[in-house]
Structure 1
Amino acid sequence: MENLKDMKQQETAVKEPIAEVPEEQEENKYLIKFRKPFVWEDNTYTEIDLSGLEDMSARDMIQVQRTMERSGSINVLPEMSLEYACIFASKATKMPVEFFQAMPPKEAIKIKNKITNFFYGED
């Protein structure tokens, strides 16, 4: 009887870590790491999390497009522009658009590509 209890405890102990491993290894596909630290308004950033993209709606896309139109920017495919990506990333992260506009070009393009892939690259 005691052997049976020991076996059940061992079985449970073996099963629990297996269930936890995928969660620990799960990678945030919306996390963008910068090549070098980015300093903005006395804060240093090494990465930005765009997970908020999942919570965005078509209404947000329309608002971004209207913001661009008010600034005089006209694009056939606005969602492909860097300006659109900066504004959309701002909404997704709740960071000011100026944060994204101040980024070095390579980091800004990473953000633009991630947002463009979010629109067109999945499914």
Structure 2
Amino acid sequence: MKIMLSKEFVFEGKTYSEVDLNLENLTGADLEAAERIAISEGGGLGNFAELCKPFQAAVAARAAKLPLEFFHSLPAKDYSLITLSVGNFLLK
């Protein structure tokens, strides 16, 4: 799933206009790893990790093979679009 960014974004010297989330190839182990990352970063997962932005961002990082810092650095509009897309994918 390709997510078009609202404007070009530069991270570590590389310019991005989209993020390719390969969510279909993630495994349960990937989701568990994302959950551990979200918890270690202070994300309270509550009853549904799938609805937690820190967890969704960690899943996006694994799916896109980009560092979590990439997603944390995105403009709020793009961060929200990506995390919502991950949550929608996981809950379908």
TM-score exceeds 0.5: yes
1:82 aligned to which of 47, 53, 59? 53
Taking the aligned partners of 1:37 and 1:56, their CA distance within structure 2 comes to 26
2:40 aligned to which of 70, 74, 94? 70
TM-score when normalising by structure 1: 0.68
TM-score when normalising by structure 2: 0.89
Structure (1 or 2) with the greater helix fraction: 1
- Could you tell me whether the CA contact under 8 Å between 2:35 and 2:58 is conserved in 1? no
- Could you tell me whether the CA contact under 8 Å between 2:57 and 2:71 is conserved in 1? yes
* RMSD (CA atoms): 1.3
Query: Aligned pair 1:58/2:39, yes or no?
Result: no
Structure (1 or 2) with the greater strand fraction: 2
List structure 1 segments (4+ residues) > 3 angstroms apart after TM superposition.
Answer: none
- Could you tell me whether the CA contact under 8 Å between 2:56 and 2:86 is conserved in 1? yes
Kindly indicate whether structure 1 or structure 2 has the higher relative contact order, using CA contacts under 8 Å at least 6 residues apart: 2
Between the two proteins, the alignment pairs up a number of residues equal to: 91
Match of 2:6 in 1: 35
Bigger Rg over Cα:
1
Q: Which runs of 5+ in 1 are unaligned?
A: 1-29
